[in-house]
């Protein structure tokens, strides 16, 4: 199933016949910032295919997707996790040395959203990634059982500013985690380590790789992350980006497409960008004496 949220908050499924409204199948979660899909994942309930197939169709002009998880519990990221990307950076360091990082859960936007560049004079890059949505509480999970903890998969852009701040700051600006358009449930993805992933900026194909080129495959990423921190249902893991990372500019259209999952497109704006010399924390600069 392809399960998501519409921009009016209704849970919905993308099906062969069109988008279907799942409001009647899920308990209402009015105005809850995590959304109806998060509640479904936490409940551990599986939707019956027959119920989804008979749910009412949504009018085509109302079938606009929001992020499937507007406020994930947490977003855990894998750095340096594709062989060609590590080669391109000329640095053999991987998760073994870097560990994993956290992105703010408030950085999520959905399909058709706008990435706001923070700086006029510092590069901000796209990183197209496969996202894993955790389905069950996971702690110290063995890689051989790791896929049992996956609810599904979606597309993610790990937008990153290349400045000197800590990684969690550079990746956590509001709008820096486009997610969607929906979550494909794990039963429909036989092998998450064998999916073609492509990322375009406008019509320029910047990234084109298979998840077969992971250094830590999905199972090992879950094993690693769950050895450090408990993963909860609705948490998101960004599995790393392949070679071809590049800068974004105002007016760009960025798309990431993953085989069997879908295609997520967002736009880029610099309307809130400031020179790096005027970044947060600079004015007035706190005095530091040694
Ligand atoms: Mn990344």
| Confidence class for position 185, pLDDT limits 50, 70, 90 | very high
* Calpha distance 86→100 (Å, rounded): 15
Give the Å distance between the CA of 50 and the centre of ligand 1. 37
With a pLDDT cut of 70, the percent of the chain lying above it is 100
Give the Å distance between the CA of 43 and the centre of ligand 1. 29
**Mean of pLDDT values over 108-133:** 98
* Calpha distance 100→79 (Å, rounded): 6
Q: Which residue has the higher pLDDT, 32 or 252?
A: 252
Task: Note the helical H segments in the chain.
Answer: 35-43, 49-53, 83-88, 95-98, 167-170, 218-228
Give the Å distance between the CA of 27 and the centre of ligand 1. 34
For 33-79, the DSSP string reads TTHHHHHHHHHTPPPPHHHHHTSPBPPGGG--EE-SSSS-S-EEE--
Tell me the per-residue pLDDT of 192-216, one tens digit each, with 9 for 90 and over: 999 999 999 999 999 999 999 999 9
Please give the span between the terminal C-alpha atoms of the chain, in angstroms, as a whole number.
59
Q: Does pLDDT of 116 surpass 90?
A: yes
Give the Å distance between the CA of 245 and the centre of ligand 1. 9
Q: Does pLDDT of 92 surpass 90?
A: no
Give the Å distance between the CA of 238 and the centre of ligand 1. 7
Average model confidence (pLDDT) across the chain: 95
Closest by Cα among 76, 22, 226 to 138: 226
**Mean of pLDDT values over 236-241:** 98
Give the Å distance between the CA of 241 and the centre of ligand 1. 5
Give the Å distance between the CA of 207 and the centre of ligand 1. 13
CA quadruple 243, 168, 113, 117: dihedral sign:
negative
Give the Å distance between the CA of 14 and the centre of ligand 1. 27
What token pair was written down for 239? 């599995």
Cβ(11)–Cβ(183) below 8 Å: no
Give the Å distance between the CA of 95 and the centre of ligand 1. 12
């Amino acid at each position: 199933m392809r399960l998501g949220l519409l921009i009016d908050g209704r849970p919905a499924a993308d099906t062969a016949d069109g988008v279907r409204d799942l409001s009647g199948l899920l308990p209402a979660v009015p105005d809850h910032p995590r959304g109806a899909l998060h509640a479904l994942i936490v409940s551990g309930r599986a939707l019956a295919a027959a119920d989804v197939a008979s749910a009412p169709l949504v009018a085509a002009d109302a079938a606009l997707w929001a992020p499937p998880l507007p406020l994930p519990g947490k977003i855990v990221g894998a750095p340096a996790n594709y062989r060609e990307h590590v080669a391109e950076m000329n640095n053999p360091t991987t998760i073994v040395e870097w560990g994993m990082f956290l992105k703010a859960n408030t950085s999520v936007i959905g399909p058709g959203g706008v990435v706001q560049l923070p700086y006029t004079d510092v590069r901000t890059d796209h990183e197209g990634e496969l996202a894993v949505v955790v389905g069950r509480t996971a702690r110290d999970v063995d890689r051989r059982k790791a896929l049992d903890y996956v609810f599904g998969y979606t597309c993610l852009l790990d937008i990153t500013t290349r400045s000197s701040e800590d990684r969690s700051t550079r990746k956590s600006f509001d709008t820096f985690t486009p997610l969607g358009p929906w979550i494909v449930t794990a039963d429909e993805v036989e092998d998450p380590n064998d999916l073609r992933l492509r990322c375009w900026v406008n019509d320029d194909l910047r990234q084109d790789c298979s998840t077969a080129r992971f250094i830590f495959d999905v199972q090992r990423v879950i094993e690693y992350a769950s050895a450090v921190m408990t993963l909860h249902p609705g948490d998101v893991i960004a599995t790393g980006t392949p070679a071809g990372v590049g800068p974004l500019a105002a007016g760009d259209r960025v798309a990431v497409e993953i085989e069997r999952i879908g295609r997520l497109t967002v736009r880029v704006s610099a309307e809130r960008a400031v020179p790096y010399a005027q970044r947060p924390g600079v004015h007035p600069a706190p005095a530091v004496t040694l």
